[in-house]
Structure 1
Amino acid sequence: MDGVGGMDGVDGIGGANDPVISLRGVRAELGSRPVLRGIDLAVHRGEVVALLGANGSGKSTAVRSIIGQVPVSGGEIELFGTPRRGFRDWKRVGYVPQRTTAAGGVPATVTEIVASGRLSRARFGMLRKADHQAVRRALELVGMADRAKDSVDALSGGQHQRVLIARALASEPELLIMDEPMAGVDLASQEILAATLREQVSRGTSVLLVLHELGPLEPLIDRAVVLRDGCVLHDGPPPQAVGQHALPGHDHVHPHAAHDAEPIRTGLLS
């Protein structure tokens, strides 16, 4: 099965300098509307890349095409040197989706949600001692260990986001793909998330982030790729000024519409 949620398999390891994500000439449509118009994008091992741009520029479509949630009409996508259509080793990839609640309306505890991110490494769907330890470590990293037994329905928006990131970290991924992880998150949670990401980067994790502005993540960003109308406008050093209005070619950024929100599956990598 293609995309996040596929079966585990054996994929190429690749060289140290090979990109973990490679998009070449990728095109995609939503309905009949072109959203990606032949974009090139690469993330190398240990690199932190921010994908920036105004609403409607194609940022979220780009990351969803990488994980197989949006079909592409042209171009090539590779993960760890393997064509995405044949990639199966999804335990190497942690994904944090945009603007969701942790349980998607399903009653669950914090631990249950985070443990679902470990299923890609579990044998026959059964969590072993090492799996439970990985779940506890992930909760500690995002400062949610003291809420492990609580229902996710009792959490704030920022705490929901921390649980989603813990779920992605539970699989101990080599690559993290995060779609606007700071959106709607209070400052305290932003600082915790930035510290969590800094810890992952120090361990060599590669990261692709969709952001509206760099904020507290700015010191971690190696490269910024700015999209406009489905095309790459800029690929290079991050903008020096803070905020979306400093981006190359920026006109104006409007708040998210409610229809941008989408539910997620509890067993993301299962």
Structure 2
Amino acid sequence: MPERESTTHREPVGAGREAVVSLRGATATLGARPVLRGVDLTVHRGEVVALLGANGSGKSTAVRSAIGQVPLTGGTVELFGTELRRFRQWGRIGYVPQRTTAAGGVPATIREVVASGRLARTKLRWPGKADRAAVDRAIELVGLADRAKDSVSALSGGQHQRVLIARALAAEPELLIMDEPMAGVDLASQEILAATLREQVALSTSVLLVLHELGPLEPLIDRAVVLRDGCVTHDGPPPEALGQHALPGHDHVHPHAADEPVRTGLLT
């Protein structure tokens, strides 16, 4: 008898897993203009989700709403199953803001900046051996171990971005949120950042990325959520056209929308 064709289907990424980020019917305004119009966005444990869209589509506002930097006018946010207003375990989240310098104008070394990312774990206690090891590992992951004592003021734009990512990784987060990590970064640094992210994904870190283009991160993306005018227009596999547009070697730096202001503060 001929073999029967298998009817086994691969379980969708995230199916049956805990939701680490959940926005439901999220609405938000900047000034008098609606920016989010009923956004549903979920990231499951171990999942890598890219938030895509044109300038002004609401991408950065969505992630800042998820961590409480932009208040919602409607809808709900949960982190690790807890309502945002009751969530206190910020050490579980690493956040890389968009378009900022590593030290914000304050004289500091790479190690000092990265060590500040450990504060959510250490609170007021003196850093111990495990804390120092986490900082060393984070610096090594982004390829800056040989420059740990250098001042961040001497770094290039791509190196600044790597320091910001190391600062987020120093907390050993379960969820990593990155807002336009590849913007204005040279291809060599993009490849290092992609390799760093691969390391985190291998450790089952959940990742939410705001991206203009997929670039070297494309192979890591499990799911893409596309926003347009503050609404979700796609939630599923990365759109093919966007993937092709974003292949390595496509040099296209986009300006950020004026209606999505830059926030440089850390989580509080």
TM > 0.5 fold call: yes
Summarize the alignment of residues 242-257 of structure 1 with structure 2, pairs less than 5 Å apart: 242=242, 255-256=255-256
| CA distance, structure 2, for counterparts of residue 147 and residue 102 of structure 1 | 14
| Cα shift readout 1:95-114 (whole Å, capped 9, x = no counterpart) | 00001100111111101100
Contact 2:115 2:167 in 1 (8 A): yes
Q: Mean alpha-carbon deviation: is it higher for 75-84 or for 254-263?
A: 254-263
C-alpha displacement at 1:243, in angstroms? 5.6
C-alpha displacement at 1:126, in angstroms? 2.1
Amino acid in structure 1 at the alignment position of 2:237: P
Contact 2:94 2:175 in 1 (8 A): yes
| CA distance, structure 2, for counterparts of residue 132 and residue 113 of structure 1 | 13
Query: Equivalent residue of 2:240, what SS?
Result: coil
Summarize the alignment of residues 75-114 of structure 1 with structure 2, pairs less than 5 Å apart: 75-114=75-114
Q: 1:254 to 1:151 in 2, by over 3 A?
A: closer
Amino acid in structure 2 at the alignment position of 1:110: I
Q: Unaligned stretches of 5+ in structure 1?
A: 1-15, 247-252
Aligned to 2:262: 262
Q: Unaligned stretches of 5+ in structure 2?
A: 1-15, 247-252
Aligned to 1:71: 71
Superposed CA RMSD in Å reads: 2.0
Aligned to 2:160: 160
Query: Equivalent residue of 1:64, what SS?
Result: helix
Query: Equivalent residue of 1:146, what SS?
Result: helix
| CA distance, structure 2, for counterparts of residue 227 and residue 88 of structure 1 | 28
Aligned to 2:211: 211
Aligned to 2:29: 29
Aligned to 2:201: 201
Amino acid in structure 1 at the alignment position of 2:225: V
> Are 1:40 and 2:49 an aligned pair?
no
| Cα shift readout 1:62-100 (whole Å, capped 9, x = no counterpart) | 000011100000001000000011100000000000011
TM, length-normalised to structure 2 = 0.88
Query: Equivalent residue of 1:120, what SS?
Result: helix
Aligned to 1:180: 180
Greater Cα radius of gyration, structure 1 or 2: 2
C-alpha displacement at 1:264, in angstroms? 2.2
Contact 1:101 1:263 in 2 (8 A): no
Percentage of identical aligned residues? 78
Runs of 4+ in 1 over 3 A off after TM superposition: 242-246, 257-263
